Amino acid sequence: MTRPLTHADKLAAFTAATRSLIHWYGEEIAAGVTDARLEELLGQALGIFGGSGGPNQISLAFQGAGLKIWACWETVNNVTDKPIFQGKATVKMAREVYNIPDPSNRQLKLL
């Protein structure tokens, strides 16, 4: 039986898959980017295909096309497993995790 992913597991998987985003594009992101630009940057950071895993670690796979991230405690099968993040959900999570402002959102921040 596969151990279910907790919210903390999903956050860890997301940050592992997107760790190059801030390293490569930190200055641009800090100034704020639109969803379209963030999609482009995430696609570049995720790359063609990548992943990681090992004993007592979350198995991880990711690809820039479709902004897909898979994770589980067993071996990830990117063909049959459903991604934990995909498309707009990946963009939304990036904004939350990295606190990325959207210059097209004219709503004031709540203090």
Looking at the domain assignment, is residue 108 inside a domain? no
Domain of 14 in residue numbering reads as 7-98
Looking at the domain assignment, is residue 110 inside a domain? no
Q: How many CA atoms lie within 13 A of 98 on its CB side?
A: 29
Q: Is residue 109 over pLDDT 80?
A: no
Segment 59-79, tens digit of pLDDT = 999 999 999 999 999 999 999
Looking at the domain assignment, is residue 111 inside a domain? no
How many domains are there within the chain? 1
Which of the pair, 103 or 110, is modelled with greater confidence? 103
Q: Is residue 111 over pLDDT 80?
A: no
Looking at the domain assignment, is residue 104 inside a domain? no
Average pLDDT over the chain, rounded to an integer: 92
The pLDDT, as a whole number, for residue 2 is 72
Q: Show the tokens assigned to 10.
A: 């999903």
Strand order in the sheet with 68-72: 50-52, 59-63, 68-72
